[in-house]
Amino acid sequence: MRGKLVLIFSVRYTHFAMLNKDIADLLGNVAAAYTIKDENKFRFQIIAYQKAASSIENSSTQISNLIKENKLGTLPGVGPSIREHLKELVKKGKVRHFEWVFKGIPDSVFPLLKIPSLGPKTAYKLVKSFNLKNPVTVITDIKLIAMEGKISKLAGFGEKSEKDILQVINEYEKGKNKAKRMTLPFAFQIAENIITHMRKSKDVIRVEALGSLRRMVPTVGDIDIAASTKHPRNVINHFTNYPYVERVLEKGDVSSSILVSGGHQVDLMIQPENSFGSLLQHFTGSKSHNIHLREYALKKGLSLSEYGIKKVPDKESQIKKYDSEDKFYKDLGLAWIPPELREDTGEIEQAAKGKLPILVDLNDIKGDLHVHSNFPIEPSHDLGKSSMEEILEKGKTIGYEYIGFAEHNPSFSKHSSSEMYKIIENKRKKIEQLNSGKKYIRSFNLLEVDINTRGVLPIDDRVLNLLDFAIVSIHTSFGLNKKEMTNRILKGLFHKKVKILGHPTGRMINERDEYELDWEKILNFCYKNKIALEINSWPNRLDIDDLIIRKAVDKNVKLAINTDSHAAYQMANMKFGIALAKRGWAKKSDIINTFSYNELSEWFNS
């Protein structure tokens, strides 16, 4: 989207707020325009605008709110100059400086940048050569021109590139509506299938999933796989012969990319065994972590790559190879950095000081406090599928000490207060009975209680007092604004039996955005009243994200990592919640379900 279009929108819709994605696109287009104008002259502006764009796209707070709170400068990569441009953008709907950068570049260039393999130079050349001016039709225009065989006649283009352009446009049009980012667990499954295929080759020594998958980012774009071998060519061939390949995108000496069914891209990189450590490091990323790490190394006169480390000034110097990541980081004077932290948010500085936190681990978890059993509670939402006994058995196999049974509250509209009391009393008796013997691990009597639109809980105090404690969460009316939603939640948290705020942002990946909250207020309230925020491990919730977790950890607000399971086998999703917690720099002591049964009982009674 370009400046002009933005202006039209903001005039037409007085309340039209530019979302971070739109702003990131706009800054990306500024970088592209600079590239077209003069790549060498503006090379550092290009890098700066790209960096700012990706920073804004990944920000969990809307730019308009950051401006209101005067916190725009806290975003990495946004300095005084871009900050002023963004203020102008939000205020006036356009930016004078951007208009200057865009001058002479047709609007029709920018839609083409969405298509893989078409960059600014190529897009500009095509648009100019064929005088294409309409940004709405430009993609189909190019397609028709390619079909007429006119692109191959252009200097710098040939038959192959013409064919490639047709192909990527077709794929783009086909996948435009579906190829969204995968949820982490879904991507894991695809990666697992490919790794299984790779292990069938006798030439593969080691094979691992890296990239955002290894960093455990909640959504994954491409899947990255690394392998070690003595015979790269055989391994690359084996890779491109994967049975579910839709198309081979690239096939080189040490790397290859394929599209698998569903349109997901898988990248493979290869190194010999003795350089596998530096390959792990390189291919795990993130990109910004690697760039920062390489700048850091450069200052010590070292140059890093997937091949290893070499000394910069000495042209004769041999590259030093690494079979493990540990040694790689060590030679830079750094502690090994857990992949979940490699997002360039201060981890390199802390590693240099030897002050990285010891992160919570799956083995630290002593129970799951948000499990829905099939106890006949006549709930407002889904009932679980497994019995309490099955869930307790499963918990025991995992090595837990306790389970929190947190079914949805009995539906408000269908039950009188005394009926509700009766149901919960029955459940309480059932749990007392389960706890009385030695057969099972311990159970907590909990409920997941809705917070209605006005912040009221649909069950009264008498019922609440039957519980060990309550989780409260939002399942309706997601459209409230930031202030209304914050007040609604604060009100819902007020009862002394409430100890956990469930899936706090309400997001459903690829389905529903999170609602915005005043986190400052929520966190302060939780700290004062000893309420834990839930880290929900449900595959398409993965809620809350790492940035909020980190804020909570900084403010000493406790967290609970739960699976929200509706069947016993789903309790295995705990590992995804753990990953989120790690990404938020959480330690064992930050997580209440690392406490023993007694410690936890004491915590929620205090």
Binding site for DNA (CB under 7 A): 35, 39, 44-45, 47-49, 51-52, 76-83, 97, 116-123, 152, 155-162, 164, 211, 222, 224, 250-256, 265, 267, 285, 287, 290-291, 294-295, 297-300, 303-307, 312, 349, 352-353
Beta carbon of residue 268, minimum distance to DNA (angstroms, whole number): 9
Least Cβ distance, residue 127 to DNA (angstroms): 11
Contact 135, 114 (CB under 8 A): no
Both tokens of residue 181?
């980012």
Nearer to DNA, 122 or 409 (CB): 122
Pick 17 or 298: Cβ nearer DNA: 298
Closest distance of CB 185 from DNA, Å? 21
Q: Rounded to whole angstroms, how far apart are CA atoms 221 and 188?
A: 12
Least distance in angstroms from the C-beta of 79 to DNA: 2
Tell me which DSSP letter residue 74 carries. G
| Least Å from the CB of residue 369 to DNA | 37
Closer of 290 and 537 to DNA (Cβ) = 290
65 vs 303 by CB, closer to DNA: 303
Beta carbon of residue 208, minimum distance to DNA (angstroms, whole number): 15
Distances (CA, A) of 157 to 129, 392, 448, 489: 12, 65, 61, 59
Q: How far apart are CA 247 and CA 270, in angstroms?
A: 20
Amino acid at 225: I
Q: How far apart are CA 317 and CA 332, in angstroms?
A: 17
Give the nearest distance from C-beta 253 to DNA in angstroms.
Answer: 4
Q: Which of 436, 443, 504 is nearest to 469 (CA)?
A: 443
Which CB atom, from 11 or from 298, has the smaller least distance to DNA? 298
Residue ranges with strand state E in 261-333: 264-271, 302-305, 308-311
**427: its two tokens:** 């459940």
Residues 6 or more apart in contact with residue 267 via CB below 8 angstroms: 211, 222, 223, 224, 225, 255, 256, 257
- Gap between the Cα atoms of 242 and 214, Å rounded: 22
Least distance to DNA from the beta carbon of 75, Å?
Answer: 8
Q: Which of 75, 199, 216 is nearest to 535 (CA)?
A: 216
Please say whether the beta carbons of 568 and 373 come within 8 A.
no
Closer by beta carbon to DNA, 129 or else 303: 303
Q: Which is nearer to DNA, 351 or 466 (CB)?
A: 351
154 versus 508: smaller Cβ distance to DNA:
154
| Pairwise CA distance, residues 17 & 454, whole Å | 26
E strands of 4-60, at which residues?
Answer: none
